[in-house]
Amino acid sequence: MAETESVGKKIWIGTATGVLVILITSSLIPWLRENVLLPFVRALCRWGAAIGNHLTSSATIPLWLLWILIGLSGIVLLRIASFILHSKGNAAIQPSAQRLNWHSFTELVYEGIRWVWQYDSSGRVTEIAPLCPICAYQLDLRHDARPYDLQAITIFWCDHCKKVKGQLDGEYEGIRIRVHKEINRLYQTGEWENIVRRQMAARK
């Protein structure tokens, strides 16, 4: 019996609470609409209208002030254009003006043969080798002599192309020394930089 009364009491409290919430909500929503929402919307509309009127309104300024503003605007635009052109000019000049490392000079076409080499730890040229200028295959050496004076000649044969790529007077060691001297000459005159730049441009 007591349990039945407790359940009935809970139902009555829940019903009363629901009715009270409905009454409060039905009276509070119109109050919020009239006193909070609508005033906010009206204030927002007035603020937007004031900004629009300010932006579309015309103002009278002295003619001399107008010309000063025009002149300052022109100066600013010219400075911006000059800065852009100067930046583009530097970007175009920079690759060619870039200082190259001497050790990037590692190949040379001399007497129709492509010569490549390396540098040791002290910076001296070492391991000079002849390559085919067409396929980059390392050339084989054949020693012979001219028939009319029996002077030694060195024949450079490409086993990949199956062709003779060059025939130079002298023993190979003497030819290698001449190549070494040419490398030193190009370094002393600074011509090596132009050679390296052309090689870099050809690889792009």
Residue pair 109/139 in contact by the 8 Å Cβ criterion: no
Rounded average pLDDT over 15-43: 66
Burial class (CB in 10 A: 0-12, 13-18, 19+), 66: exposed
User: Whole-model pTM?
Assistant: 0.52
* Mean pLDDT for the chain overall: 80
Alpha carbons 105 and 121: distance in angstroms, whole number = 15
In this predicted structure, which of 17-26, 32-41, 75-84, 158-167 has the lowest mean pLDDT? Answer: 17-26
Burial class (CB in 10 A: 0-12, 13-18, 19+), 154: buried
**How confident is the model at residue 102, as a pLDDT?**
87
pLDDT in tens, 133-183: 999 999 999 988 877 778 899 999 999 999 999 999 999 999 999 999 999
Per-domain boundaries in the chain: 1-55, 102-203
**How confident is the model at residue 2, as a pLDDT?**
44
Here the tokens at position 1 are: 């019996």
Alpha carbons 98 and 104: distance in angstroms, whole number = 13
Element (H, E) at 201: helix 191-203
In this predicted structure, which of 40-49, 53-62, 111-120 has the lowest mean pLDDT? Answer: 53-62
Amino acid residing at 155? I
